[in-house]
Amino acid sequence: MVRERRRLGRRRPGASRSPRLLFAGLVLATVAFGVGAVDQIGPTSGPFHRELNTSFAAMAAPLASRSTAAGASIGEILDRGPTMDRPTFFGLLDALAAASSEVADQFDTLIPPAPTPPAGAGCQSAMILRAEAARGLRSALETLLGGPTGLAGGNEATAATAMADVSVQISQADISWADCRRALILAPGGVRLPLSVWMGDPRAWTNQALGSFVGLLAGSASLTARHQLGLGALGVDPAAVSVSNGSAVIPPTTTLAVQMVLVDPGNVDEQGVVVEAAVRPTTAAAAPPPARRTVDVRAGASVAVDLPLLPVVAGTGYSLVITALGPTDGVAAPAVTIPLVVAQFPSGIVVTPSVTSARVGHPVSYRATVSAPAAASTVPSGTVTFDDGGTAVPGCVSLALARGRATCTVTYPGPGTHVVTAVYAGTTSLANSTSLPLREPVVAPAG
């Protein structure tokens, strides 16, 4: 029994080392298993390719559906194009070009599926070709119909040749997409992308069919450029405050701002439209230069136009004439004429005596000072007449202002009180005004 205990005692150190060795073995086994798992899903493994292809298809499928939906407009253009109105026709072409370019740009961000890079490249190249075809189609038909403004003459033969090139691009794009789909089906994962075809009926893309289509477009009455301009809402600043004798009366000002809305009810964009406002005085005064601005306006749309300030003279009547002239001979909006009167600026006048109480036989001076608002931007000119009790003071009638002032000097022969006023005659831009009465006592000399 003692020996057995000793043997057991000798085994205890060995027993304490066994769990450690066992743990080390498990760690080595786990590492080995991990390394094997990583090797199994590496770039050359089937699971890796299945995951990559599946992810690519999930991202590419909605883009393919968008491309297919955009391409459906090509059939509509070929079927109904010659009977469409111009904005609708070019609206479809614009939408096709924009959508196909956007899809091609988004395809560039996708990772081509492995291990067949040509398949991924085929998916991308299909969308790039479609974007190029959409731009080419837009350019060919726009050139045929005179460009965006309808001013440039198109050539049917050139347009038919350009459309033939577009048909080749569309056909190549459809083939590239079909090859990409086939390659992905055969690749690990067997993923399927949706069908996507732009060339619905190849017969519509033969040289004969394209020539006929181009001829119908060139002779279409609804696609013929129709230039037309109009003027919508009009406004001036400062705004009119009243109407007098058929003329709009605006507050006193030295400048006039004119705003308007230019309208294009035609079917082509008008580029370089010259909008002009001119003020023509109703008197013999010289007219200031007109205010002009050059703008573009899209077919069926309108644009607000703010013209540069026009110089005007307060107290003057004008005819405000607004015109819009397009880039094509004879294309102009009907002129609009608005009679208006710019009101005079108000003036003020005060009288001050040289002495508060005059003496008989001694001269006394009355000074009239005329003022104008700062907005008038002028020093008052014109004449002043002094009255004494409602009667003009001799020698003080129509005195010219100097720096806005005029002086009347009188000598009274006898005592009394005089009520003096100054009357400003006004000018074209400044209204007349009368001072408050000034009571000036005149006393006899002392002693």
Q: Convert the pLDDT of each residue in 75-96 to its tens digit.
A: 999 999 999 999 899 999 999 9
Do residues 52 and 31 both lie within one domain?
no
Q: Provide the 10 A C-beta neighbour count for residue 353.
A: 16
Residue 98 lies in a domain: yes
Query: Which of 195, 218, 241 is a domain's end point?
Result: 218
Residues 6 or more apart whose Cβ sits within 8 Å of residue 264: 228, 229, 230, 270, 297, 298, 299, 300, 301, 302
Q: To the nearest 10°, report the CA torsion of 192, 196, 201, 202.
A: -90
Mean pLDDT of 340-349: 97
Which pLDDT does position 53 carry in this prediction? 76
How many CA atoms are closer than 13 Å to the CA of 41, on its beta-carbon side?
A: 9
The per-residue pLDDT for 62 is: 94
Same domain, residue pair 149 and 284: no
Tell me, rounded to whole angstroms, the distance of Cα 206 from its chain centroid.
42
Do 393 and 324 lie in one domain? The reply is no
For range 116-120, the mean pLDDT = 50
Residue 224 domain-assigned?
A: no
The residues facing 232 across adjacent strands are none
CATH number at residue 295: 2.60.40.10
Q: Is residue 367 part of a domain?
A: yes
Domain that holds residue 7: 1-36
Please check whether residues 264 and 328 belong to one and the same domain.
yes
Question: Is residue 267 assigned to a domain?
Answer: yes
- Residues 188 and 159 placed together within one structural domain of the fold: yes
> Are 194 and 156 within one domain?
yes
Q: Which of 173, 191, 218 is the last residue of a domain?
A: 218
| Residue 415: both structure tokens together | 């005592």
Six-digit token string for 116: 């067949």
Does 225 reside within a domain?
no
* Buried residues in 103-141 as b, exposed as e (16+ CB within 10 A): bbeebeebebbbebeebbebbbbbbbbbbbbbbbbbbbb
N-terminal to C-terminal alpha carbon distance within the chain: 167
Would you call 373 exposed, middle or buried from its count of C-beta atoms within 10 A (0-12, 13-18, 19+)?
middle
- Confidence at residue 34, expressed as pLDDT on a 0 to 100 scale: 33
236 shares its domain with 163? no
Same domain for 74 and 202?
yes
Query: What is the reported pLDDT for 4?
Result: 37
The answer as to whether 94 is a domain residue is: yes
User: Does 223 map to a domain?
Assistant: no
Per this entry, what is the length of the chain? 447
Determine which of 196-200, 225-229, 443-447 has the lowest per-residue pLDDT on average: 443-447
- Identify the pLDDT of residue 46: 60
Whole-angstrom Cα distance, residue 281 to residue 256? 13
How many independent structural domains does the chain possess? 4
**Strand 399-400 to strand 358-359: parallel, antiparallel, or no bridges (unpaired)?**
unpaired
What number is the average pLDDT over the span 26-35?
32
What's the CA gap between 256 and 236, in Å, rounded? 7
> Do both 61 and 23 map to the same domain?
no
Query: 359-391, pLDDT tens digit by residue?
Result: 999 999 999 999 999 999 999 999 999 999 999
Rounded Cα distance, 98 and 75, in Å: 17
Question: Does residue 355 sit in the same domain as residue 337?
Answer: no
Look at phi and psi of residue 428 and say left if phi exceeds 0, alpha if psi is from -120 to 50, else beta. Answer: alpha
- Same-domain status, 71 and 208: yes
Indicate the residue among 297, 323, 342 that finishes a domain: 342
Q: Residue 15: which pLDDT band, with cuts at 50, 70 and 90? A: very low
Claim to verify: residue 208 and residue 326 sit in the same structural domain: no
Q: With pLDDT > 70 as the criterion, what percentage of the chain qualifies?
A: 86
pLDDT value for 330: 73
pLDDT of residue 26 exceeding 50, the answer is no
DSSP H or E stretch at residue 383: strand 383-388
Residue 36 has pLDDT above 90, yes or no: no
Task: Flag whether 41 is in a domain.
Answer: no
State the maximum Cα–Cα separation within the chain, in Å, rounded to a whole number.
167
Across 183-187, 225-229, 326-330, least confident range:
326-330
Tokens in use for 160?
A: 């038919």
Reading the block at residue 84, the tokens are: 């469409």
- Distance CA(208)–CA(379), nearest Å, equals 81
